[in-house]
Amino acid sequence: MSTDNKNALDNAQLHDEIENTPSNTSENRPFSSVLETNMSRRKVMAGSLTVATTAFLAPGAHAGWGWGRRKLVDFKPVAIDDVVDTTMPTISDDYEYDVLIPWGTPIEPGATKEYTGEPDARPTSAQAALQTGLGHDGMWFFPMDCRNAIYYGRHYRMRNDVGMLCVNHEYGTNIHALGKSGPENLEDVRLSQNIHGVSVVKLKRTFRRGWKVVSSAHSRRITVNTPVTFSGPAADSKLLQNPNGNIPLGTVNNCGSGATPWGTYLTCEENFNGYFGATSGFVATQEQDRYGFSENGFGYGWHLFDKRFDLSDEDYVNEQNRFGWIVEIDPFDGTQKPVKRTALGRFKHEAIAIAESRNGRIAAYMGDDQRFDYCYKYVSDKSWKRALRDKESPLDKGSLYVARFNDDGTGEWLELTIDNPQLAARFNSQAEVLIYARVAADILGATPMDRPEWTTIGKHGEVFWTCTNNSKRTDTNIANPEAPNNDGHIIRTKDSDDHLGTSFTWDIYLLASSTRGTEGVFTDPDAAWADPYGRLFIGTDGSQPDGLQDQLVVFDTTKDTPEPKRLLVGVNSDEITGFTVTPDQRTAFVNIQHPGNGSPDATNFPAPYDGRTIPRDCTLVIRRKDGGIIGS
């Protein structure tokens, strides 16, 4: 087993390395050089707009309970010296956690048996199709009956004790899922496929304040083999049809998430390229190169037994174009076909945050997580309520933009439209522009960033973008300490016209390197969620300094100086990601992803350390011991 364990670590590191190899060879001016100019101009942009509205939260969550005197972020942080056993998580003394839905949990009681981490008795692919998967990442809690409450503004009616939880299963390496480095047959491939995707489970709080999975007609697993549909401007494109005529199936590498104001879940397809490979001579086209397709992918080996993922199979020549989208899932209809929203463009979608503008039109902010890739925004043509009344999706008709950051603290949203002669010279239709959005963004001169991961909307409508790191940045200006950018940073943008504008202002909210040497040290910001009162929650993904593992830190963004407070530290070689709350903000859900990178030598979480049980990705339910607001 020790050989396998070593491979597990190597495999995870390889995954990280491959997924982040730059594929952007455009000569667009890197963000590093813009950052250098900006750092001398730190500008606080908060304050000019009204408090953001958040559909899933109950306004006045702070009322009652006597929290008025407590500061916005007031818990006792986990000190560096408090972290003594990294085989288990460490949480603030003011908080407690329970483990929920570890890998292998039946999606409803009795659906199948549970997988418990036994190394010699892994689930079959059929069992895995009815269990939660691996790689817990983005998620969202939808209170039962939330839709009417949101639509009619009766947020106080939303339930805090029962709802549907949608959870992404981004990935699990072959070593972690199969116990071997590659598949040997189609059953192995199906098991690997079925631990990927999305789980929709119904959760209910018990009288002891614990949470459990209960039965529901809405519960389901969505995998890379689940029927899906395409919608929006590229839906009927020939580039999404195969000579084989196979129907569109599935979603994969579901990373971050978002939710719509109308109560649906958005899952983001990130490193989809890694699941494709070629069984015979593969020479990448310019577009395939830009999206990172290669002969062996990330080593999953699906293409060896499932032709859909074989780039050299002429029957499935466009299967690759069916991935890289934002996918809309109805958490309250277990029979709904997930819908791929092509108007939002095809790239390595990390996550999505939706803001509602003054007239009900929506803007969606989205990062493309690769070194030197871009920040995007989508704006709907109509208000979301009007679109729904007209039997349209607000995510089907609108404009897609990519960001260019200027030296003076301003920026432009450049529209990806076939009406632009620069793009008409390269593409035949708007469908092509969207399918090859990265190439279109290169042509428009977007600013190459240091791996844009999650986005979230702050108290004043400002958008926070986590840029996790960029070790390949080669800016040699010694005045700029972030080349290479090993620790990452958080950017803040403010739209010029309440999310509908074509320009914005921006500043650097925080360079993570500036926290080194302090008690609040953290690096590699990744997952992000802001509440409407000014708290910003950041989950990290990368080697943390001072012997720490990946962390959940909280900021009070109403203060001029960012000060991270450490709420949670994870286990060896995990990642802290995904964040969602109940409407009263007194319960939060956060994910422990790839604990130990799958190696039982590193941790057996959620089992206590025994050096043998396979560690399982899981969700933590966290709450303040005194029942207060999360983050306070």
Residues that bind ligand FEO (CB under 6 A): 170, 255, 270, 350, 369, 453
Quick one: which of 366, 343, 340, 344 has its CA closest to 353?
Answer: 366
Instruction: Give me the least distance between CB of 120 and ligand FEO, in Å please.
Output: 30
209/441 Cα distance (integer angstroms) = 48
Which of 313, 442, 453, 550 lies at the binding interface for Ca ion (CB under 5 A)? 453
Supply φ then ψ for residue 116, to 5 degrees.
-110, 5
Instruction: Give me the least distance between CB of 13 and ligand FEO, in Å please.
Output: 15
Pick the closer one to ligand FEO by CB: 173 or 231.
Answer: 173
Q: Which among Ca ion, ligand FEO, none contacts residue 320 (Cβ within 5 to 8 A by kind)?
A: none
Instruction: Give me the least distance between CB of 45 and ligand FEO, in Å please.
Output: 26
Instruction: Give me the least distance between CB of 270 and ligand FEO, in Å please.
Output: 5
The continuous run of DSSP H or E covering 290 comes out as helix 286-290
Pick the closer one to ligand FEO by CB: 350 or 531.
Answer: 350
Pick the closer one to Ca ion by CB: 92 or 573.
Answer: 573
Pick the closer one to Ca ion by CB: 16 or 287.
Answer: 16
The tokens of 137 are what?
Answer: 């990442």
Q: Which among ligand FEO, Ca ion, none contacts residue 531 (Cβ within 5 to 8 A by kind)?
A: none
Judge residue 499's burial from the number of C-beta atoms within 10 Å of its C-beta, 0-12 exposed, 13-18 middle, 19 or more buried: buried
Pick the closer one to ligand FEO by CB: 92 or 573.
Answer: 573
Which of 108, 310, 482, 541 lies at the binding interface for Ca ion (CB under 5 A)? 541
Q: Which among Ca ion, ligand FEO, none contacts residue 270 (Cβ within 5 to 8 A by kind)?
A: ligand FEO
Is the CB of residue 290 less than 8 Å from the CB of residue 426?
A: no
Q: Where are the beta strands (DSSP E) in 62-209?
A: 90-91, 95-100, 136-143, 162-169, 197-205
Q: How many residues in the chain?
A: 632
Query: Hey, what long-range contacts does 544-551 have (CB within 8 A, 24 or more apart)?
Result: 545/516, 545/521, 546/80, 546/521, 547/80, 547/83, 548/80, 548/83, 548/521, 548/522, 549/83, 549/86, 549/573, 549/574, 550/524, 550/574, 550/575, 550/576, 551/78, 551/522, 551/576
The answer to whether residue 313 forms part of the interface with Ca ion (CB under 5 A) is no
Pick the closer one to Ca ion by CB: 468 or 604.
Answer: 468
Which amino acid is located at 71 in the chain? K
Name residue, tokens 């329970």. 98
According to the 3-state scheme, what is the secondary structure of 513-552?
HHHCCCCCCCCCEEEEEECCCCEEEEEECCCCCCCCCCEE
Q: Which among Ca ion, ligand FEO, none contacts residue 356 (Cβ within 5 to 8 A by kind)?
A: none
Pick the closer one to ligand FEO by CB: 293 or 347.
Answer: 347
Query: Would you give the binding string for Ca ion spanning residues 466-485, x where CB under 5 A is met?
Result: --x-----------------
The answer to whether residue 487 forms part of the interface with Ca ion (CB under 5 A) is no
Instruction: Give me the least distance between CB of 192 and ligand FEO, in Å please.
Output: 17
Supply φ then ψ for residue 306, to 5 degrees.
-135, 105
The answer to whether residue 526 forms part of the interface with Ca ion (CB under 5 A) is yes
Instruction: Give me the least distance between CB of 99 and ligand FEO, in Å please.
Output: 22
Q: Which residues bind Ca ion (CB under 5 A)?
A: 453, 468, 526, 541, 575
